[in-house]
Amino acid sequence: MNKFNFLLKIKPKICLTVLVIALLVIPAHASASTVFETTGWIIGTQGLNFEFTADQPPYTYQATLADISQAPAFGFDFLFLSITTSTQILGSITGPGSFMFPVESGKTYFANVFGTGGGDVGAGLFGLEVTAVPIPGALWLLGSGLFGLACLRRRVR
């Protein structure tokens, strides 16, 4: 009977140790990884299409569009980004900025950039980056806490 009580006392310590190790390792993997990035010129009024595949978990991605022109010679009068599948628009933004969208593993997506060049030359330089958004550490902590409560409830019964 003493051996069994000893195991009950050590089991929570092992779980806590594994949890602490997991929480120390997770931040190392929490940086957003780039799925697709490009820069391009828009001269006059122009639209450019880019294709990428969702192959990096987690499967929530963020698209960021930036105006990297040097004013006053270059710039944009209008800048637009949409992320689509072959049949559906997942998100869009007018002007520089970012938005998040869900993806499915292995599926092909399209980044569509449309704009009107401005400035003295009538052209602008944009930067487009699509990154995989990591699961926040708070969600890991909440999940492990709920798991611990469920284990505690089972132990009490």
- Structural domain harbouring 58: 32-134
Are 108 and 84 contained in the same domain? yes
Are 24 and 51 contained in the same domain? no
130 CB-near residues (< 8 Å, 6+ apart): 34, 35, 36, 37, 52, 61, 62, 63, 64, 83, 111
DSSP 54: -
Are 129 and 144 contained in the same domain? no
For residue range 24-36, what is the model confidence (pLDDT) as tens digits? 555 544 566 888 9
CATH number at residue 52: 2.60.120.510
Q: How many domains does the chain have?
A: 2
pTM > 0.75: yes or no: no
For residue range 45-90, what is the model confidence (pLDDT) as tens digits? 999 999 999 887 778 899 999 999 988 889 999 999 999 999 999 9
45 CB-near residues (< 8 Å, 6+ apart): 115, 116, 117
Are 124 and 68 contained in the same domain? yes
